Amino acid sequence: MDAILRNFSGGSVETRERDRGGKPSREQVEAAVRTLIAWTGDDPKREGLIDTPARVARAFEELYGGYFECPIEALSRTFEEVGGYDDIVLLRDIPFVSHCEHHMLPFTGTAHVAYYPEGRVVGLSKLARVVEIYARRLQTQENLTAQIATTIDEVLQPRGVALLLEAEHSCMSLRGVQKHGVSTVTTQFTGVFQNDPAEQERFLRLIRNR
């Protein structure tokens, strides 16, 4: 648990320290946006763009709000009254939007999360909340996958966690090779899902079956 507090606290102590230190002011952010607008060749003083820097600052607060939330806290409340249930718990088709840390362009997709409880369960919405918190940061899909799976595994300590993310990256569809409709799939397995191929296959079959 100490490891996860160090590595995944993002929205708590680490953020507060950054706020007291070198975090740019709102005025600096808006000035930077005006510079980018001018660099593109447009006039940041024209009517349609005059309020854009303030809008962009507010949008960034929302899009990257995951830096100010703690995924560990989202999983902190669990329930032991499960009537002896010890089979798989699966959430399919959790939508998410994140931003590529290389180009700051969005990638959009769905997450499928499963775990085998070990005597306690967590509220279903909390699993989706963990996905949301990590997605609202600058990411690679690989890192996003690992963070979600590791957090659920270390906080809940279940018998196993399975995670599959499928997303389309606009840094690939809007620029560069400009290939539309290409999906990237990443997976992470722990515990029984990692050790037993039959459990991996069951997880994948449950995702596919509708």
From the annotation, which residues make up the binding site?
100, 103, 171
Active site residue 171: yes
202, 89 in Cβ contact below 8 A?
Answer: no
Q: Which of 28, 102, 142, 201 is catalytic?
A: 102
Helix H, strand E, coil C: the string for 79-146 is: ECCCCCCCCCEEEEEEEEEEEECCCCCEEEEEEEEEEECCCCEECHHHHHHHHHHHHCCEECHHHHHH
Which of 106, 96, 95, 98 shows the shortest CA–CA distance to 172?
A: 106
**Catalytic residue (one of 14, 103, 157, 166):** 103
Active site residue 70: no
Q: Which of 30, 132, 139, 141 is catalytic?
A: 141
Relative to beta strand 160-169, strand 78-79 is: unpaired
Q: Tell me the binding residues for Zn(2+).
A: 100, 103, 171
**Residue 180 known to be catalytic:** no
Which of 100, 157, 168, 194 is an active site residue? 100
Q: Give the Å distances, CA to CA, from 179 to 61, 96, 103, 182.
A: 30, 21, 16, 7
Annotation marks residue 169 as catalytic? yes
Helix (H) / strand (E) containing 41: none
Q: Annotated catalytic residue: which of 139, 169, 188, 199?
A: 169
DSSP characters over 7-38: HH-TTSHHHHHHHHTTPPPHHHHHHHHHHHHH
Catalytic residue among 17, 101, 118, 201: 101
Residues shown for the chain: 210
Known catalytic residues?
100-103, 141, 169, 171
